[in-house]
Every structure is written in structure tokens, then in C-alpha cells.
Amino acid sequence: MKSIAVALLNWNGKSLLERFLGEVVNNSPEAVVYFIDNASTDNSVLFVQENFPSIRVIVLDQNYGYAGGYNKGLVAVKEDLICLLNTDVSVKPGWLPPVLDHFKKHPKTAIAQPHIMDLKVPTQFEYAGAAGGFIDRLGYPYCRGRLFNDLEEDLGQYDFDEKVFWASGACFFVRKTVFESLGGFDEDFFAHMEEIDLCWRAFNQNHDVYSLYQSKVFHLGGGTLKLSPQKTYLNFRNSLYLLLKNLPEKRIQRIFERMLWDGIALLFFILQFKFATAFAIVKAHFAFYSNCRKMLKKQSKVKGFTAYYNEANLPFRYFFLKKRNLS
């Protein structure tokens, strides 16, 4: 029996499947490949069934988003280790053995990611995860190889396995027992940053998250959720959810500080006449206020070590000190 599953979640992504799914099947002999469909209407399921009979297909009754789709689809997966792989990711031969070896040798590792490169510029790290993620004191996410929109070239500066704070949802390895013990993804996130929330909950339970440099995948980026007011809304709302649920201390103080910086961002977008983006930030805050009580009931339990950040204030470092990389 194979010990790893590669699970792809899809919603109306037939064009991406035509481009990338063959690589996944051909270059993943170590894995059982699962296809979880969020009630697509573009014949995605038929395409997979006709062209890739070895793939195990799971069809859901509606679009549950990233979080709900995986929560429901992974119930049918039996393998000990699961890779959640975006449908717009290109994988090459040999991408899985370094990951399998790490998980075998490091039982404390619960979650991991490979280095995620830009498919369009293969020598450059990609926005969604790069060489492993962190958050600052106020919950702003960043990566080795990516601060805000600044991306680094891969010059070998991160060629070592590194314990990180969060792993990218574009290619997210997780032990099934840990995923289940943590209750899976928080479906109130719907899409965007739910992997950071899961990693923070894992961190609060003393699990390790790693970025593994000997495995690389190539992400098209923007193939499933383009930059838009909707993404801005999810980004700002879910960031506040993250803090309220997972902060080990000084919760009110740090959420208030974060809101001040969100206000600066709001003013910035207004001055640029990006009114739809500015409205998305306002909408995100009102959604957060209306769901505060619900999120408080989901506060994660903290065991021991609680120093969750290395960087105090990422916006200040980036915009005022002009420090644009970590290397």
C-alpha cells in the first residue's frame, strides 16, 4: 500500500487539468492520486474519468471552497501522508521522494511544503509560499523569498531544510492524523489563509512545519484566485480571524494595532482611486465584527512555546525601512 496521497481540489478548472494533471500522474508513482471536485459545471469530472482512469474521483454536491472541499473530500483518503496540490502546479520527476524521506526521519514534522517556484520565471520564487512562510507580530504573512509583492531569485540562499511557521496551500503536505486531530481547515475562511490558520493551530500544539529545499514545484499563480476586491476582502477578514483565534497573549492590543495598519492601507487605496479595493477592506472589518463571538469560540489551545513571530512589524520594515528581502 502506498503511504502518500496527492489530492487535487477542483472547481471549473478543466483547462488547468488539461495542462497539468498528466504531469501529476506521470511524475508521482509513489502516490495515490485523488481528484476532489467542488460541483464543477465544465465537464472537469468527465475529463478526468475518461483520460486518467487510475485517479480516484470524489464528487461533492456543491462548491465548498478550499477549506470545506478538502475537509469533505479527504474523509475518503486513507493514506498516512497527504499532499494537497493546486491544479495549477507543475511537478517534475523526483519531487516526492525527498518529502517522504523527511517525514519518515522526522516524526515531529506534521506539515511541510517544497520550494515553490514561478512557472513563468522558473529561477524565481513564487508568491504563494516561496521557500516557506512566517507571520509578523500583527499577523502579516511573508515568506523566505517573498515580501509583499517583491520576489527573490533562487540563488541557493535557501538551500537547506528550514522550520517555518506556515506552509503554502498550493502544495501542502500534512499527516492525516494531525489534520484530523486539528479538525481540518476552518470552513469560515472559505478560501485564502486557511492553511496559515491550520499551521498556527499545529504550532500551538507543538507540531513542526518545514520547508524542504530538495523538492521543487512550479506554480502558475493566479490560476484559481486572481487579485481582486474579493481576494482583498478575504485577505483582510481572514487575517483578523487568524489573530482572534490563535494569538497566545495581548489579543486585544495586537488586533487594535493591526486595525490601525489596515486603516493606513484603506487610505492608501482611496488616494489611488481604488475604491473597490478600499470598500473590500471596510467590508472585511464589518464581517469580522459580526463574527467575533463565533471566532472566539474557536480559540486554539496553546501548549508551551508561544513565540510565533520573528519580525515585529513587516509593513514598517518594508515600506519605511525599504528592506525588501530576508536573505
Tell me: pLDDT of 305 over 70. no
How far is the C-alpha of 285 from the C-alpha of 273, rounded, in Å? 20
- The three-state secondary structure class of 321 is coil
Taking only the tens place, the pLDDT of each residue in 197-214 is 999 999 999 999 999 999
Q: What is the pTM of this model?
A: 0.93
- Could you tell me the three cell numbers for 124? 524565481
Which pLDDT score, from 0 to 100, does residue 323 have?
82
Domain 4-219 has CATH 3.90.550.10: yes
83 contacts 77 by C-beta, under 8 angstroms: no
For cell 465544465, name the residue.
42
Four-point Cα dihedral 229, 230, 231, 234, nearest 10: 120
225 pLDDT band, cuts 50/70/90, is very low
Name the average pLDDT for the chain.
Answer: 93
Nearby residues of 69 by Cβ (< 8 Å), 6 or more positions away: 9, 11, 36, 38, 60, 63
Which pLDDT score, from 0 to 100, does residue 224 have?
43
The structural domains of the chain, with segments of one domain joined by +, span: 4-219, 229-302
Taking only the tens place, the pLDDT of each residue in 137-190 is 999 999 999 998 899 999 999 999 999 999 999 999 999 999 999 999 999 998
Tell me: pLDDT of 223 over 50. no
